[in-house]
Amino acid sequence: MTATAPEASTPLLEVSGVTKRYPGVLAVDDVSLSLETGQIIGLVGKNGAGKSTLIKIIAGAEHADEGHLRLNGEPLVLHRPHDATVAGLAFVHQDLQDVGDLSVAENVRMGLGYPRKMGLFVDWAELHRQAAEPITRLEADIDPREPVGELSVAKQRLVMIARGLAQQAQLLVLDEPSASLTDEEIEHLFAVVRRLRDDGITVVYVSHRLEEIFELTERVIVMRNGQLVADEPTASLNRSSLISHITGHEHAQTAAERRASRGVGGRPDTEVVLEVDEVSADTGVNNCSFDVRKGEILGVGGLMGSGRTEMVRAVFGADHRREGSVRVHGIEVSDKHPSESMAAGLALLPEDRKTQGNIMDFSVRHNITLASLDRHRARPRVPAPSGRSEKQATDRRIDRLSIATPSDRQLVRLLSGGNQQKVVIGKWLEQGADVLIFDEPTIGVDVDGKEEIYDIMEELAAEGKAVVFISSEFSELVGVCHRVLVLHEGRIVGELEGDAVTEPAIVEICYSQH
């Protein structure tokens, strides 16, 4: 299916018949589209659908095998990323590509050269003045002299957008720009994007968060398996139809429907496994108490910065506790080292699977057995792992968790986000923890992958594990959790159970704190 360009004057950017093959994969399959001036266009699709490759081709970072590009009606040939910059195409990647030690001004004006005094010395005043102009356009409260590395993630993204403006960009591609931003920061980002659109800049907005696509964009382009499968005005879509386009499945449930269809009710009437008693920590955790029962899925909601991650890190002993105690099966657990919590049956699946969850340059096998290596000895007294035992265990996990990997020897770095997350889960299942704390397990995971992770959590609970599930997407909590705690400024400010677990109820508690 190929979308035809809507009739207009000359479109800003035309992509015609672009195809990109990697060995064994057709990453982009005959994609044609055209982008009008001054529109906000959503680009969605699962991981591996071909979005990134398409963007890389437009950015000049990859070369298409077939097809061509036109900019303002003129053929556009990109040999390297710099050509795209010169042509007025700007890209803000999810992983920030700024230089942290340099000032905001230097980052904004990067690649444009330094203004000079007497032909030799850098004219800093002029540089700061030049950089201040695009920053002012973004209505951002940023000092051009500050080192970028000391800014918040939100401000760093704005600096990257300002760089695009400084380069006179006509097209701005934002890849997952709202990741790790607070709600307020996201609001500001949206305002910025709308203002740029009003100024005639075309914005391509890539996101897995469908709410944002509906709120912000005028048109949605959906990719699946390298093909462009839908190109429609946002107004003509609803959540369910958009998910159908993304997954290729007919059905798409809302969180409440999922909850009802799975029969998620109140917490089970079983023994308490994890007891957290008045825990405080220097990371801002303030007197938190709760417990989790066998077979229960406890959700932890709250806005970005509400202290959810900090709370579970203190519970797990990843950070030290200032006060309070943690008991597993009634036995007190010390916070000296994560190994003590693990011995007691606790597992933490950290927020960032790349920097905390996995060893990215280890194979799937070596990651999965990392927390339980001493159980794979060929001889009980010799601390040498047996490859065969490790392989058997890993193959079992690959099979049970449906980890899509060519083999147990594949490097985790080369897996998709959802599969990397499953490797982390596999590691803790292999370790045999009784309490599994999932911190934002679905970030950057596509729609199908998310559903699989919910299924895994439910299976674990059904097997008698206690599960704690942190998420910024409240709909996830509604779809899966028996009970939800809501945090604000490091405190537990609300608790919902059973039928009371609804999205509006969680949002209500979050915002009634201000």
Partner 1 sequence: MSEMATAQAPSPESGGRRQDFDLLKVISRFGVIITLLASILIFTVLNDRFIEIDGIRTSLNLASPLLMLALGLTVVLAMGDFDLSVTGIQSAAGAIVVILIVNHDWSWLLAVLVGLLFCLIAGSVNGLLVSYAGMPSFITTLATGLILIGTRYEAADGRNITGAKDLPAIYRDFGVGRPDPWLELHTPVWIAAGLAILMWLLMSKTEAGRYMYAIGGNPEAARLSGINVKALRALGFTAVGFMALFAAVTSTARTASSVADSGFSTLLGAYAAAFLGAAASKRTLFNVPGTVLGVIFLQAVDRGLILEGYSTGVRDIAKGCILLLAMAFTRIGASRQ
- 280 DSSP β-pair partners: 323
Nearer Cβ to partner 1 (161/228): 228
Long-range CB pairs of 156-159, under 8 A, 24+ apart, other chains included: 156/96, 156/98, 157/92, 157/96, 157/181, 157/189, 158/189, 158/192, 159/98, 159/104, 159/107, 159/108, 159/135
Q: What size, in residues, is the chain? A: 514
- Which segment (79-87, 113-121, 124-132, 395-403) binds partner 1 by CB under 8 A? 395-403
Nearer Cβ to partner 1 (172/447): 447
Number of residues that bind partner 1 (CB under 8 A): 54
361 binds partner 1, rule: CB under 8 A: yes
- As a whole number of angstroms, the distance between CA 42 and CA 218 comes to 8
Find the binder of partner 1 among 360, 395, 434, 513 (CB under 8 A).
360
- As a whole number of angstroms, the distance between CA 235 and CA 227 comes to 22
Which amino acid belongs to residue 152?
Answer: S
How much of the chain is helix, strand and coil, in % rounded to 5?
Answer: 40, 25, 35
Nearer Cβ to partner 1 (267/400): 400
Nearer Cβ to partner 1 (26/272): 26
318 binds partner 1, rule: CB under 8 A: yes
- As a whole number of angstroms, the distance between CA 206 and CA 87 comes to 21
Are 218 and 40 a contacting pair, CB within 8 Å? yes
Are 375 and 364 a contacting pair, CB within 8 Å? no
48 binds partner 1, rule: CB under 8 A: yes
- Which segment (93-101, 167-175, 197-205, 380-388) binds partner 1 by CB under 8 A? 380-388
Q: Pattern of binders to partner 1 over 403-422, x per CB under 8 A?
A: xxxx---xx--xxx-xx---
157 binds partner 1, rule: CB under 8 A: no
61 binds partner 1, rule: CB under 8 A: no
Nearer Cβ to partner 1 (145/375): 375
- Tokens encoding 464: 């008698």
Q: Taking CB under 8 A as the criterion, which residues in 198-237 touch partner 1?
A: 225
**Of the candidates 391, 385, 399, 389, the residue with the CA atom closest to the CA atom of residue 365:** 391
Q: Quick one: residue 296, left, alpha or beta (phi over 0 = left, psi -120 to 50 = alpha)?
A: beta
246 binds partner 1, rule: CB under 8 A: no
355 binds partner 1, rule: CB under 8 A: yes
- Which segment (9-17, 143-151, 171-179, 351-359) binds partner 1 by CB under 8 A? 351-359
Residues forming contacts to partner 1 in the complex (CB under 8 A) are 22-27, 48, 225, 247, 316, 318, 337-339, 342, 348, 350, 355-362, 366, 370-371, 373-374, 383-385, 401-406, 410-411, 414-416, 418-419, 427, 431, 448-449, 451-452, 455-456
